[in-house]
């Protein structure tokens, strides 16, 4: 194995940091991971930097061990690399890169005032989780650290800086910080001016510079190599691709960077993204971001997707263990997902809200997981799980209806990826029912992010002069990719529609639960 032809992708996701090493044929050959979880401290969802450093070290160490086990060598050199992380959020530093306040993640819904004011001022839907909303809210709150801010970046941007010494992010990542001008491929100058006048800052002096897919974000410095591999085996000088958020890597991993293609990422959070060539109106709950190459993307995002499913699965496993039946966690998920297929198409009168946090799309700043059912409901395990799976993507469906029915956005191909799709066909069929369109799932559906980042680094390393990202992916990566496409039948479509009618009617009860609990 010529490791100078390999490429490393690492992604810091919400519940796991994972690294994937791919060969010159874009095939994964080794991996490592590290499980972690955000913490709610003083009302802020966060990860400490100590957690971040520990997780990066442990993940890379696991990757090295996998290489050693499979190939009998110590990994010392690679051809290229890139890092990714959950998008958005608020990481601010002073001029010496000293962190000023704990990391505020995408999951926080504490910037409602700022998001509302910015949305009006900019004539652009500004979600609460975007970096600019966090900054403006800190300014409105008169937080003392604001006067010392010299750098505003994301988690991926900060890790990329530690690796290269360069303060830059990829286009997709940048588009989740502040609006992008799709003509200049820079932060929107007119909107920056409006922001500056309202906030009393010079925003562009705080933000990282933007790089497009295929450009180089710098090279791994000796300090960066030691940060990634404290054991000191990895050599410096590795070219590093522009860092991306999980939205950008999800687009790449599902080959959804061409106009009229889309992907649906369903894990801890859920988001649907459709690449478009038309100008859309500003809609609450619809984000306008960009592909890593700069094409406009309409995104519907919800903060919680599979977390409530995970919580119930852990409880069912504990019950089984307590009864003396030892089962694998993966088998628990498979059974529960397949059991849902025996349920009624509309979950039989059971409605579930999986909101661990607020959801912009339904105007809630906080969430309370809640199960409601009619007295006469057919309350079976199958219907309980059907309600779980329907509710996991219900908020995204509300936003998708705006794009498909309201904006008449065309989708030629929608690809699903993330843990929701690991059990074959079950989640895929439900998503197809939600959008009333065929849904494709590839073999890599469960692990899109780090693989997508590795592909971006491979594109930077191997592309021909003038070769577009979408052409590289079509011809070099996905030409022979194995996939399954499913179209839900009309009964499934009607069942989801019926479930959503009850779901929307019952939403005031969820709002009341937030108020009283």
**Residue-wise pLDDT tens digits, 122-180:** 999 999 999 999 999 999 999 999 999 999 999 999 999 999 999 999 999 999 999 99
pLDDT at 447: 54
Q: Quick: pLDDT tens for 172-186.
A: 999 999 999 989 999
The residue ranges of DSSP E strands in 13-156, in sequence order, are 16-22, 28-35, 39-41, 44-46, 80-85, 91-93, 151-153
**Alpha-carbon gap, residue 476 to 473, rounded angstroms:** 6
When the pLDDT of each residue in the chain is averaged and rounded to a whole number, the result is 94
Q: Is 225 part of any domain?
A: no
69: in domain: no
**Residue 209: closest CA among 253, 164, 251, 242:** 242
Query: Is 40 part of any domain?
Result: no
User: Residue 445 above 60 pLDDT?
Assistant: no
User: What pTM value is reported for the model?
Assistant: 0.83
- pLDDT-wise least confident of 175-189, 359-373, 501-515: 359-373
* Mean pLDDT to the nearest integer, 57-67: 97
Helix and strand element counts for the chain (H, E) = 17, 22
Asked if residue 70 belongs to a domain, the reply is: no
Is 141 part of a structural domain of the chain?
no
Q: For residue 390, what pLDDT is reported?
A: 98
Assess whether pLDDT exceeds 60 at residue 444. Answer: no
Q: For residue 386, tell me if it sits in a domain.
A: yes
Which has the higher per-residue pLDDT, 47 or 409?
Answer: 47
- CA 31 to mean position of chain CA atoms: 20
**181 located within any domain:** no
pLDDT (tens digit per residue) in 81-109: 999 999 999 999 999 999 999 999 998 98
Closest residue by Cα to residue 173 from 87, 103, 255, 250: 87
Q: How far are the Cα atoms of 152, 381, 390 from residue 347, in angstroms, in the given order?
A: 45, 10, 8
Indicate whether 299 pLDDT > 70.
Answer: yes
In a domain, 484, yes or no: no
Q: Which of 190, 186, 193, 200 is nearest to 149 (CA)?
A: 200
Cα torsion through 67, 483, 302, 119, rounded to 10: 100
Residue 511 is predicted with a pLDDT of 95
Q: How confident is the model at residue 442 (pLDDT cuts 50, 70, 90)?
A: confident
| Main-chain dihedrals φ then ψ at residue 333, nearest 5 degrees | -60, -45
How many structural domains compose the chain?
1
Q: Which domain holds residue 373?
A: 307-392+490-516
């Amino acid at each position: 194995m010529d490791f100078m032809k390999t490429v490393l992708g690492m992604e810091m996701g919400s519940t796991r940091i994972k690294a994937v090493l791919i060969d010159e044929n874009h095939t994964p050959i080794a991996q490592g991971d590290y499980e972690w979880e955000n913490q709610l401290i003083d009302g802020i969802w966060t990860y400490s930097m100590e957690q971040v450093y520990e997780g990066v070290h442990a993940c890379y160490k696991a990757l090295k061990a996998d290489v050693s086990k499979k190939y009998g060598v110590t990994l010392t050199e690679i051809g290229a690399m890139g890092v990714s992380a959950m998008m958005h959020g608020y990481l601010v530093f002073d001029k010496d890169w000293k962190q000023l306040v704990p990391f505020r993640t995408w999951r926080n819904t504490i910037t409602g005032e700022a998001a509302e004011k910015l949305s009006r001022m900019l004539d652009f839907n500004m979600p609460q989780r975007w970096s600019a909303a966090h900054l403006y809210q800190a300014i409105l709150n008169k937080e003392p650290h604001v006067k010392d801010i010299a750098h505003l970046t994301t988690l991926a941007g900060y890790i990329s800086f530690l690796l290269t010494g360069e303060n830059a992010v990829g286009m997709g990542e940048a588009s989740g910080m502040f609006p992008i001008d799709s003509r200049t491929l820079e932060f929107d100058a007119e909107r920056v001016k409006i922001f500056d006048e309202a906030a009393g800052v010079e925003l562009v002096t705080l933000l990282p510079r933007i790089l497009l897919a295929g450009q180089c974000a710098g090279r791994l410095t000796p300090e960066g190599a030691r940060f990634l591999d404290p054991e000191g085996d990895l050599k410096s000088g590795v070219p590093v691709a522009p860092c991306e958020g999980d939205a950008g890597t999800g687009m790449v991993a599902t080959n959804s960077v061409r106009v009229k293609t889309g992907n649906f990422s369903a894990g801890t959070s859920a988001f649907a993204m459709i690449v478009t060539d038309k100008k859309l109106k500003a809609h609450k709950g619809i984000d306008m971001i960009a592909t890593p190459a700069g094409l406009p993307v309409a995104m519907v995002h919800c903060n919680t997707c599979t977390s409530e499913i995970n919580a119930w699965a852990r409880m069912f496993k504990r019950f089984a263990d307590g009864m003396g039946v030892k089962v694998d966690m993966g088998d628990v998920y498979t059974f529960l997902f397949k059991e849902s297929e025996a349920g009624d198409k509309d979950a039989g009168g059971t409605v579930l809200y999986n909101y661990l946090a607020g959801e912009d799309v339904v105007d809630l700043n906080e969430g309370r997981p809640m199960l409601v059912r009619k007295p006469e409901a057919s309350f079976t395990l199958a219907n309980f799980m059907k309600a779980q799976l329907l509710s996991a993507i219900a908020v995204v469906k509300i936003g998708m209806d705006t794009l498909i029915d309201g904006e008449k956005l065309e989708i030629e191909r929608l690809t699903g990826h993330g843990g929701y799709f690991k059990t074959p066909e079950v989640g895929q069929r439900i998503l197809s029912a939600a959008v009333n369109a065929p849904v494709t799932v590839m073999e890599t559906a469960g692990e899109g992010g780090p693989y997508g980042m590795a592909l971006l680094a491979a594109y930077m390393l191997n592309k021909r002069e003038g070769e577009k990202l979408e052409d590289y992916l079509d011809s070099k990566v996905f030409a022979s990719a194995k996939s399954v496409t499913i179209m839900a039948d009309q009964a499934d479509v009607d069942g989801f529609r019926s479930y959503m009618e009850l779901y929307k009617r019952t939403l005031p009860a969820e709002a009341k639960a937030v108020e009283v609990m």
